[in-house]
Amino acid sequence: MRPEEIISSFENKGFCIFNLGKSEVDAIPRLANELGSLTDGFYQNDSRQISFFHASETINTIEEIINSKAVAENITPNKTYIIRVVESGSTEMYRTHFDSHLYTLVIPLILPKSESPLRGQFYFLNRFRKKPKSEIENLLGKSLAFIKYRGKRGMVKLERKESFREVDLKIGQAMLFEGSVSLHGNYENKSGVKRITLILHFNDPFPFGAGYILRQFRSRFTRK
Ligand SMILES: [Fe+2]
């Protein structure tokens, strides 16, 4: 798919799953080798991840389109790169949440084998809330979702909902979705193999709000 088609499909549905181009797919094994030794946690703005994203024409074009839309809405473009590492047996699971950023791009880098029923796979509920008009509204929505749907117990309620969807991305695929309005999280990883995911968050409309504080907290207590 061309970047324009990805954005168009994303705008119609709220998300788009697409195949990466040959150059990105070819670069994945080397990056997986470089990042494969990372241990459980979140790594913010790692230069190796940033280089991989910067080398991708598709991602650069998506970013340009998204940023021009942000400017039209008086949002100053901003972004955060995250490497998410979930080792088998990690306590990182069922952390159902809304992102602070409007757009989230997810690219799996290392995946557990698909035979394991619990391998940290992604789930989401597309367009689960309206776009918050203020940081207070954003924070309130995030807090309510946390209280109502947190943990394994919250999953029982979520799995019953019509919009609940499990997404099993393969290596070489990517997903762009509306992270700030689509409730999402990951299952537990009990596969025996670590999962590494590359994430790019675009355009937090409240860049120094709650999301910023959380990111500062995370970067202080996780490795970079
Ligand atoms: Fe998220």
Please tell me the distance between residue 36's alpha carbon and the centre of ligand 1 in angstroms.
21
Other CB atoms within 10 A of residue 122 CB:
19
Please tell me the distance between residue 214's alpha carbon and the centre of ligand 1 in angstroms.
12
Please tell me the distance between residue 150's alpha carbon and the centre of ligand 1 in angstroms.
13
What is the dihedral angle through the alpha carbons of 33, 103, 205, 200, rounded to the nearest 10 degrees? 10
For residues 97 and 211, the answer to whether their CB atoms sit within 8 Å is no
pLDDT at position 118: 94
So where are the chain's domains?
3-221
Please tell me the distance between residue 184's alpha carbon and the centre of ligand 1 in angstroms.
6
pLDDT at position 198: 98
Please tell me the distance between residue 7's alpha carbon and the centre of ligand 1 in angstroms.
19
pLDDT at position 215: 57
Please tell me the distance between residue 101's alpha carbon and the centre of ligand 1 in angstroms.
9
Please tell me the distance between residue 181's alpha carbon and the centre of ligand 1 in angstroms.
10
pLDDT at position 224: 41
Please tell me the distance between residue 18's alpha carbon and the centre of ligand 1 in angstroms.
19
Q: How far apart are CA 89 and CA 105, in angstroms?
A: 25
Chunked into runs of 10 residues, the chain (224 residues) has average pLDDT values of 94 96 96 97 96 96 93 91 96 93 96 89 95 88 91 92 94 96 95 96 80 59 48
Please tell me the distance between residue 127's alpha carbon and the centre of ligand 1 in angstroms.
14
Sequence-distant (6+) residues with CB within 8 A of 131 are: 102, 180, 181
Please tell me the distance between residue 179's alpha carbon and the centre of ligand 1 in angstroms.
6
pLDDT at position 187: 94
What tokens were used for 192? 């025996």
Please tell me the distance between residue 200's alpha carbon and the centre of ligand 1 in angstroms.
10
DSSP string, 76-131: ---EEEEEEEE-TT-S-----B--SSSEEEEEEEE---TT-S-B--EEEETT-SPP
Q: How far apart are CA 88 and CA 207, in angstroms?
A: 33
Distances in Å between the Cα of 200 and the Cα atoms of 59, 113, 143, 151, 170 are 10, 24, 23, 24, 17
pLDDT at position 210: 64
Please tell me the distance between residue 186's alpha carbon and the centre of ligand 1 in angstroms.
9
| SS3 state at 137 | helix
What residues pair up with 84 in beta bridges, in sequence order?
42, 197
Please tell me the distance between residue 219's alpha carbon and the centre of ligand 1 in angstroms.
15
What tokens were used for 22? 């040959």
Please tell me the distance between residue 83's alpha carbon and the centre of ligand 1 in angstroms.
12
pLDDT at position 209: 65
Task: Residues 3-221: name the CATH superfamily.
Answer: q2cbj1_9rhob like domain (2.60.120.620)
Please tell me the distance between residue 95's alpha carbon and the centre of ligand 1 in angstroms.
9
Sequence-distant (6+) residues with CB within 8 A of 201 are: 79, 80, 81, 82, 99, 100, 101, 103, 104, 105, 179
